[in-house]
Amino acid sequence: MKKYTFFAVSIVLLLAGMLIVSACFSPFQGDKGTFTLSLGGSPGSSRAAVPWMFGMYSEDLEHSITLSGGPGPDQTVSVRGDQPVQFSVTPGTWEIDVEGWRPGTLGHGRPISMGYSKVTIRAGQNGGVPIKMFVYCELGHPAPPELLIQGTVFYLSKEGFVDVYSGKTCHYLAAHTMDLDNPGGTPPLDLFEWGLTTIDVPDTRTGIGTGFHNTMQMEEFSSPAVFALRSNPMLSTGGGDWYIPSRDELNLLYQNRNYLAGIGIGTDTTYWSSSQSSVITNAYVQNLVTGVQGQMTKDNALKIRPIQAF
């Protein structure tokens, strides 16, 4: 199964706009360095920062720009479109956060795009710092329908993480609103075996961004859990591809469980990850009520909460 449809990839490409921070420094004057920040510093680079579906280009947006985490006081400015703005800051490492708002709505409601970068500012430095922009999604809420992503957003990485199966940089994880079930099966309907204890599923990994890769590995070795995932009608419509979270993604489900409904309801509160342990008979699990992580033999029947990365 192909990870992303052509249409979904087209949408993602539209989201991957670029803002350019042009950093031209004056010589030291006391302990300050002065630089100019320009949004859309290369021709047309900002036009894809917000896709056509929102009905405007990024140079029409109002941007809120915040410098924080550096050796001096935080600074926040507002700028319309690609108007340059000048900062005077103490040299050092700073975090730059950008949010894009519909004209006339700055600071009200939800932004529609955001970007992030960490930059080291030195006197005399020249050049630019790229800030990738992506669509803003609020934790605990569905993703915008134009993204073709179902489920509830429960994790945000401003820096981004790589989905190792596709090589794509993602910023969010979204979980299905319900645990996996099997409407056509026999009771219990919501508990699934990971796989055979006698079969080694090679190259499963534990990190964030590895769950889809792991799920594809499990599918190759006829995992009952993945068969249930693929044959479930509630996961076969809409957009994106559901998968079983890796060990670390499962832990993020626990850490952010307050954003999600129905986690750990009932007496069965232990969930499978898609990460096989170093002992081939076992895979990693986690209790999503207590947070306790561990391993269990793969022939145990446990719950699964499908997720997506985007």
What is the band of 37 on the pLDDT scale with cuts at 50, 70, 90? low
Lowest-confidence region among 129-133, 216-220, 267-271: 129-133
Q: pLDDT band at residue 8, thresholds of 50, 70 and 90?
A: very low
CB-based burial label for 134 (10 Å; 0-12, 13-18, 19+): buried
Number of Cβ atoms within 10 Å of the Cβ of 28: 13
Least confident of 115-124, 173-182, 250-259, 284-293: 115-124
Alpha-carbon distance 80 to 63, whole Å? Answer: 6
The residue ranges of every structural domain in the chain are 14-135, 145-309
What pLDDT sits at residue 39? 57
Residue 186 clears pLDDT 70, i.e. is over it: no
Gap between the Cα atoms of 250 and 296, Å rounded: 15
The pTM assigned to this predicted structure is 0.83
Determine the pLDDT at residue 112: 85
Whether residue 115 has pLDDT greater than 50: yes
Closest CA to 239 of 150, 151, 158, 309: 150
Would the pLDDT of 117 be above 60?
yes
Tokens (6 digits) for 221 = 């070795």
Residues 53-71 pLDDT 10s = 333 345 578 889 999 999 9
Q: Domain 14-135, what architecture? A: Sandwich (2.60)
Q: Output the CA angle 81-162-210, nearest 5 degrees.
A: 145
Record the tokens describing residue 219, joined without a space. 């599918």
How distant is the alpha carbon of residue 190 from its chain centre?
27
What pLDDT, in 10s, does the model give residues 204-236?
999 999 999 999 999 999 999 999 998 887 776
Q: Give residues with Cβ within 8 angstroms of 183, minimum separation 6.
A: 189, 232, 233
CA distances from 85 to 37, 69, 120, 190, 273 (A): 5, 19, 18, 55, 47
Q: What is the pLDDT of residue 42?
A: 37
Task: Name beta bridge partners: 270.
Answer: 287
Closest CA to 9 of 51, 45, 40: 51
In this prediction, residue 59 carries a pLDDT of: 56
Tokens of 104: 């006339």
Q: Which residues pair with 152 in a beta bridge?
A: 142, 175
The tokens for 109 are: 């409601």
Evaluate if residue 150 carries a pLDDT over 90.
Answer: no
For 26, which DSSP code?
P
Q: What is the DSSP letter of 300?
A: S
CA–CA gap between residue 148 and residue 167 (Å, rounded): 19
For residue 17, give the 3-state DSSP assignment.
coil
For 12, 29, 129, 226, 246, the CA distances from 125, given in Å and listed in that order, are 33, 14, 11, 52, 41
